[in-house]
Each structure stands twice: as structure tokens, then as C-alpha cells.
Amino acid sequence: MFVLYIKHLLPEEITALNVMHKNHPLHLSRSRAHAILLSFKEHSVPMICSIYNVCRQTVSTWFSNWEKNGIDGLVDCQGRGRRGILTEKQQISLVQRVEKSPRSLKSVLAKFEEDLGISVSIDTIKRICKQADLVWKRVRKSLRIKRNQDKFDLATDEIKELIQQHKENELDLCYFDESGFTLEPCVPYAWQQSGETIEIPSSNSKRLNVLGFVNRDCRFDSFVFEGSVNTSVGNYSDPLTIGSLGTATPTR
């Protein structure tokens, strides 16, 4: 049966459809609810087809399911769609392999196919990893393995004491860091035509070091420094004294 319009909706049905259209977790169910509401407002089937880029038969099926089953007819039953290639146990095993070798999905994929004889795509692995709350992000450098925990705890306590003295206006506590800039660009990776090479203009230049100081009240002072930045420079608690060590230009 080809349904042209949804002609009758009760107030409670309109409310339920609006809630589904705005809040249902599945896009397809939201689209179906919206289509019913549009039809009730006398939008034509071709117009709804154009909005959701579907055929007339699909829209008619939505309408028929609504007429037969109401709001339940707009939700897919469990078990529909293509079954997954991997079982739940295999997915858990795959995630564990990725956690052991997090930087190379291709090696994980090759070993997984070798052990189980199951061929899956990189996109499938990525989807399973996301479902397991894994994310692709930059790896952080760390010296934690070389840390002397007793000295670290002592330093942590000293920092807490300094923060407390700053709160009591006994001193102005600043944090310091430096960075440098030159005209020599970094060399990134890029997709390039075989036999061709993308070139980045490069020029020799002096390195400009920027020293930054920020205190607990978010006051920031920065200086451009044309000399080497070493421990003697960084140990000064007052950034205004840096000028006596070399050529420094305040950037404020």
C-alpha cells in the first residue's frame, strides 16, 4: 500500500514524534519521525524524498510502518543489518593486541589474520578501537621511568609551599619556559606523486629564543633573547635581570 499523507495525529503522538525527532540516538529513527511530522503538515512525498535523499518507496514504507505499529514502527528491531565479522571475544582480543602495539595497526592486522585466518580492514579495527574508548593522539615523552620518587615528592612539597607563600603575598611565584624560532622549517611527511618531491623554502638564520614568565595571577612577561638559554638564565626569579646577561628585548 502506497501511503501519500499522514492525515491524523493525536496530540500525544505529535509530542512523542517531536521527542524522537530531537532526542533519539539513531539518525534514521529521527529522520522517520520527522518525515511523519512533515507529512502531517502536508509536505508531499517527493519533497520528503528530496530532504532525506531517499526514494518514494522508502518514504511510503516509513508511513506504512507508522500506520501499522505507531512509534514502534519507526525503530529498527534488534538483529537487523549485516552481522559483524568478529565475535565479541575476538573484538576483545583485537583491542588487547592494539594496546600491546599501539603505534602500528597494520602489524596488528597482519598478526591477527595470521593467527585467526580472518581478514578485516583497517577501518574495522579503527571502529572497534573507538568503541573500546581508544583514541588516536600524540604520544608524550616522559622521564618517569628515571624518576627518583623520593626527590620528586620532596620537590612537589616545596612547590606546594611556594604556592602557599604566593597566596599569602610573601613572594611572587613565576613559571618559566623558553622556545626558539628560526627560518629553517621543520620537514613533515606528505603524500606526493611518485618521482616528484615537494620542496619547502629554507634559509639559514640566527635562532631567536623567547623566554616566558607567568605568575600565579596570570601576569605574563616575555623576552626575545639572542644568546644561549642555559641554567644561569633560567634560574633568575626576576625576568627583568635577564638583560644583564645578554641582548634581551621585552615583548610587552
pLDDT averaged per 10 residues in sequence order, the chain, 252 residues:
73 92 90 93 90 90 90 77 76 88 84 84 86 82 86 93 92 88 73 75 79 89 77 53 44 52
CB 28 within 8 A of CB 76: yes
Report the C-alpha gap between 152 and 110 in whole angstroms: 42
Q: What is the pLDDT of residue 3?
A: 53
Q: What is the pLDDT of residue 154?
A: 94
Provide the whole-model pTM: 0.39
Q: What is the pLDDT of residue 131?
A: 86
Beta strands per DSSP E along the chain: 174-181, 208-215, 220-225, 248-250
In sequence order, what are the residues at sequence separation of 6 or more whose Cβ sits closer than 8 angstroms to the Cβ of residue 62? 32, 35, 36, 74
Report the C-alpha gap between 7 and 36 in whole angstroms: 10
Mark residue 79 as left, alpha or beta (left: phi above 0; alpha: psi -120 to 50; beta: remaining): left
Q: What is the pLDDT of residue 22?
A: 92
